[in-house]
């Protein structure tokens, strides 16, 4: 990251926030009365490893249309969304499906972070390794990722992160990634299930009619062998004639939909905007 030290948006007057690069304050998410309207801005400030927890509305309109069309020919399908992040996309697809689903699984590798506040500074820790990944004050956000950082920001950020306190047993707070509106929806609809799931592990729940995978199969992060292993796990989780929808929308939304043949292989059914970059790999699985 070239700029591992960024301005806290809350330290700037509202009129200049559009002109000066800054990030929202993720500490606002720790407040029990955090506003849904500011959620997307705050959650997008969090970076874990090489991935931003970015989210915005209407990112996957074309994918959702394909899924709703496929679901309309099924009787109350069971749906799995992989890489749901905060669940903003989940809410949109659930709205589009209406009542036509038996169960909807909202999954990601993790849905929360541990954090500690000391002397006005809040430290955020990796959910798997326990290492400090962010340091936030009223004025600045400091990130662990200092690759390609502008001198001397990398050195400063590294020192600040290295000096983070160890996680204590009594003063740790949990930051939940789930969108507040999705939490309310889950509380009133038992068919919506949030669970941690890694695509490299076998699916541990019921067989599925539709699987949606958006912005996960990235060759910058995974080798072809790792992607094929993940696809094999999905293959064993899908019912015969079930649908696999893979989306890449880093620039434009590119979608490929496959169905499970009776022979147990993925067959390309539809593509939008040229389809996903791993379509040929999927057909090899």
Check residue 169 and give its pLDDT: 60
Task: State residue 16's pLDDT score.
Answer: 83
Q: What residue has token string 């009619």?
A: 209
How far are the Cα atoms of 94, 129, 172, 248 from residue 109, in angstroms, in the given order? Answer: 21, 13, 21, 19
Q: What angle do CA 180, 86, 21 make, to 5 degrees?
A: 100
* Per-residue CA distances from 278 to 108, 203, 283 (Å): 20, 21, 9
Residue 58: per-residue pLDDT:
76
pLDDT for the residue numbered 36:
65
pLDDT of the residue at 214? 93
pTM as predicted: 0.90
The domain segmentation of the chain, as residue ranges, is 5-53+121-175, 61-110+177-284
Q: Decide if 274 contacts 254 (C-beta within 8 A).
A: yes
Full pLDDT tens readout for the chain, 285 residues: 899 999 999 998 888 877 887 999 999 998 866 666 678 888 889 999 888 886 667 789 999 999 999 999 999 999 999 999 899 899 999 999 999 999 999 999 999 999 999 999 999 999 989 999 999 999 999 999 999 999 999 999 999 999 999 887 667 899 998 998 999 999 999 999 999 999 999 999 999 999 999 999 988 889 999 999 999 999 999 999 999 999 998 789 999 999 999 888 999 999 999 999 999 999 998
**DSSP SS3 for 9:** helix
DSSP string, 58-104: TS-HHHHHHHHHHHTTSSS-EEEEES-TTSHHHHHHHHHHTT--SEE
* Helix extents (H) in 121-199: 153-162, 180-188
CATH of span 61-110+177-284: 3.40.50.150
Backbone angle region of 98, left / alpha / beta, with phi > 0 → left and psi within -120 to 50 → alpha: left
Q: Please spell the DSSP secondary structure of 91-123, one letter per residue.
A: HHHHHHHTT--SEEEEEES-SEEEEEEETTEEE
Contact at 8 Å (CB) between 246 and 213? yes
- Name the residue among 26, 209, 241, 177 with its Cα closest to residue 100: 209
* Residue 244: per-residue pLDDT: 98
Determine the pLDDT at residue 193.
Answer: 98
**Whether the Cβ atoms of residue 226 and residue 216 lie closer than 8 Å to each other:** no
pLDDT at 144: 96
């Amino acid at each position: 990251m070239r700029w591992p030290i960024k301005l806290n948006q809350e330290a700037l007057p509202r009129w200049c926030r559009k002109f000066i690069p800054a990030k929202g304050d993720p500490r606002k998410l720790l407040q029990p009365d955090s506003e849904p309207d500011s959620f997307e801005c705050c959650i997008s400030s969090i970076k874990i490893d090489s991935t931003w927890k970015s989210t915005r509305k209407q990112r996957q309109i074309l994918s959702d249309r394909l899924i709703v069309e496929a679901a309309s020919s099924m009787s109350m399908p069971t749906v799995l969304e992989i890489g749901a992040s905060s669940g903003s996309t989940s809410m949109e697809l659930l709205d589009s499906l209406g009542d036509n689903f038996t169960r909807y699984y909202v999954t990601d590798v993790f849905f929360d972070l541990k954090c500690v506040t000391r002397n006005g500074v809040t430290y955020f820790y990796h959910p798997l390794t326990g290492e400090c990944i962010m340091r936030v004050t009223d004025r600045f956000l400091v990130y662990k990722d200092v690759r390609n950082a502008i001198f001397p920001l990398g050195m400063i950020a590294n020192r600040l992160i290295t000096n983070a306190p160890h996680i204590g047993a009594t003063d740790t707070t949990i930051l939940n990634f789930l969108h507040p509106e999705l939490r309310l929806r889950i509380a009133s609809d038992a068919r919506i299930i949030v669970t941690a799931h890694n695509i490299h592990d076998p699916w541990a729940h019921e067989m599925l009619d539709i699987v949606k995978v958006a912005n996960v199969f990235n060759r910058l992060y995974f080798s072809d062998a790792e992607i094929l292993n993940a696809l094999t796990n999905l293959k064993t989780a899908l019912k015969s004639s079930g649908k696999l929808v893979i989306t890449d929308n880093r620039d434009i939304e590119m979608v490929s939909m496959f169905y499970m043949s009776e022979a147990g292989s993925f067959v390309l059914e539809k593509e939008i905007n040229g389809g996903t970059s791993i379509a040929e790999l999927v057909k090899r699985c």
